Amino acid sequence: MASLSSPPTQNTIVQPGRIRVIKEGSRGQVGGGPVVYWMFRDQRLKDNWALIHAVDQANRSNVPIAVAFNLFDQFLGAKARQLGFMLRGLCQLQSHIEETLQIPFFLFLGEAEETIPAFLKDCGASLLVTDFSPLRQFRTCQDEICKRVSDSVTIHEVDAHNIVPIWVASEKLEYSARTLRGKINKLLPEYLIDFPMLQLPKNKWVAATKQSIDWNDLIDNVLRKGAEVPEIKWCEPGEDAAMEVLMGSKDGFLTQRLKNYSTDRNNPLKPKGLSGLSPYLHFGQISAQRCALEARKVRNLSPQSADAFLEELIVRRELADNFCFYQPNYDSIHGAWEWARKTLADHASDKREHIYSKEQLEKAQTADPLWNASQMEMVCHGKMHGFMRMYWAKKILEWTRGPEEALAISIYLNDKVILLQ
């Protein structure tokens, strides 16, 4: 990991704890060259702490700013379903950023370890602002970028995804929601605040050339390569669509459906009982902080449902980030708690009534109609009702040769077809 220094305590409109300095440039301060925001996890214009910080730093140093996005090829096995949704959202985002803020949006293909340092060198950047992600692939890439960029470049990491920044909420791996809940709730008055107005950049980008992005060609290429898992039609991508799902007058979650959330969210026969926000939160097309702020405004209309939603949105969601950030083996049996590993080992040799291959499970060819229906819901619709997910995973453990194989197949099936993560 890159060495960390204390976060900036002055010259920022973002709470200092939300920002980490992961590389201190030799200049000692930002200035002299443009600011580049390397967008990855938080793909939105509004309510984006990383973008707010990048623009603020550029204006304080009187330098221009650009947004860069690197398209990873088949990231974690993503197919047309996931990449198509993301690219269509990014196409809209480019228009919003360039028309609203007059900030250029650059899209790079290939390895970010090469494209981002090269771009920083070409434009003479003095500051790189990055999103936060707990995933191993991103953190390894980020570490490599720190090594490759000029010593004069400072790099700030901003947690714009979690309401309470992951490193502020806890300095260690938390055991459960019970152990994390009190820590987060104590910090919410400081961090669950409204966003400052996004400033306009004082200086325009004056690069010699500005790339033209052929979004249609990119999307067609993604759809062709990932045709095995096609796009779905029921979920419209983009920042505007996300706000419509949250606050729309016809079928918005908070405006029309929140009142039944506490009872209906665990009923697979009532899919409208769920918020429908998961794909937008996953791709960063809406801020969890905005969702929480709006939910608190209407809490008096249905306190029980609002509190249940906030528990899922804040504590449970941020617990997952805590696990991936502090547990390097988050996708392995070795990352499970000792009691869980012991239980799995004790029953690894238990006799199985059925043993199914990965291909049989993928095609829902089991003797259990309920499991088959859950799997086909995921294959055909890109989602599985939350109430069924534990049943789905536990049956895979029962139907495979051991816990390692069960986990590997579960991750494969989930990552290949799911849109709502």
Alpha-carbon distances of 293 from 132, 163, 206, rounded to whole Å? 21, 10, 38
Of 111, 75, 33, 57, the C-alpha closest to 416 is: 75
Question: Residue 125 pLDDT > 50, yes or no?
Answer: yes
Task: Determine the 3-state secondary structure of 27 from DSSP.
Answer: coil
Q: How far, in Å, CA of 23 to CA of 3, rounded?
A: 7
CA angle 146–20–126, rounded 5-degree value: 50
Q: How far, in Å, CA of 152 to CA of 23, rounded?
A: 10
Which of the residue ranges 72-76, 81-85, 236-240, 253-257 would you say has the lowest mean pLDDT?
A: 72-76
pLDDT tens digits, 232-285: 989 999 999 999 999 999 999 999 999 999 999 999 888 889 999 999 999 999
Residue 224 Cα to chain centre, angstroms? 25
Residue 38 β-bridge partners: 68, 130
19-23 and 127-131: which strand pairing?
Answer: unpaired
Token couple for 159? 């947690």
Of 36, 47, 39, 89, the C-alpha closest to 201 is: 36
Q: How far, in Å, CA of 100 to CA of 237, rounded?
A: 19
Of 13, 21, 57, the C-alpha closest to 37 is: 57
Question: Residue 3 pLDDT > 60, yes or no?
Answer: no
Q: How far, in Å, CA of 365 to CA of 245, rounded?
A: 34
pLDDT tens digits, 7-48: 554 567 998 899 999 999 886 566 689 999 999 999 999 999
* Summary count for the chain: helices (H), strands (E): 18, 6
Which pLDDT does position 76 carry in this prediction? 55
Question: Residue 187 pLDDT > 90, yes or no?
Answer: yes
For the chain, domains (ranges, CATH) are 333-417 (1.10.579.10)
For residues 77-102, give the mean pLDDT: 92
Cβ atoms of 53 and 14 within 8 Å: the answer is yes
Of 329, 281, 297, 40, the C-alpha closest to 162 is: 281
Q: How far, in Å, CA of 61 to CA of 362, rounded?
A: 54
Residue 352 is given by DSSP the state P
% of the chain residues with pLDDT over 90:
83
Q: How many alpha carbons fall within 13 Å on the CB side of residue 136?
A: 8
pTM, two decimal places: 0.94
Alpha-carbon distances of 196 from 22, 47, 103, rounded to whole Å? 24, 9, 18
Q: How far, in Å, CA of 309 to CA of 151, rounded?
A: 45
Strand ranges in 87-146 using DSSP code E only, listed in sequence order: 105-109, 127-131
